[in-house]
Amino acid sequence: MNQPKHYIYDEDACRFVPVESNKRELFLLSMSLWILNGMVFGAIFLSLISTFYATPAELALKAENEFLIDEVEESKRTMTQLMGQLDDLAAQDNEMYRSILGLNEIPMAERNASMGGARPPEMDLSVSSSTAQLLAEARQSVRQIEQRIRIQNDSYEEIKRYFNT
């Protein structure tokens, strides 16, 4: 089968001249286009596959992250319950022991005093903002509980000293 001939216009001769095609150049051009198209479609295919399908390692990490988030949330609920119990103990301490013994009440503002300070260095790790927020809230709750337990313990020690004198 004859290939259609291509012509270009030669302005010097004022006529159309047939284009001579080099088979090797045509083959290299065709192969480079096929390779380029293959790379583009391969990249698109891989990005789609990685978007919709996860590897077993990614699935395990996702399950682990969900478990850890659930654990942090459960810890926050537990800390909230502990704060409520500390509030009850503080009210009992102020109403019963201190009023019966005639000791000065510890104001709730003093009992709920929070601690300040610089951000701990472990927070400088590159973690997502939601993870950093969860960790900061948990750390703050633990510090508040520790502080309130110390204050309550000091109050009970003061009451014990009052009884022992």
**Both 102 and 159 in a single domain?**
yes
Report which of 102, 82, 101, 92 is spatially closest to residue 148, judged by C-alpha positions.
82
Residue 47 CA, chain-centre distance (Å), reads: 23
**Both 48 and 129 in a single domain?**
no
pLDDT in tens, 74-128: 988 888 898 888 888 888 877 776 677 777 777 777 766 655 555 555 555 566 7
**Both 24 and 73 in a single domain?**
no
Quote the domain boundaries for residue 21.
7-52
Select the more confidently predicted residue: 26 or 1: 26
**Both 41 and 106 in a single domain?**
no
On the question of pLDDT at 64 being above 80, the answer is yes
Q: Is residue 2 included in any domain, yes or no?
A: no
On the question of pLDDT at 35 being above 60, the answer is yes
3-state secondary structure at position 164: helix
Is residue 8 within 8 A of residue 19, CB to CB? The reply is yes
Share of the chain residues as helix, strand and coil, in percent rounded to the nearest 5: 75, 5, 20
What backbone torsions phi and psi does residue 45 show, to the nearest 5 degrees?
-60, -45
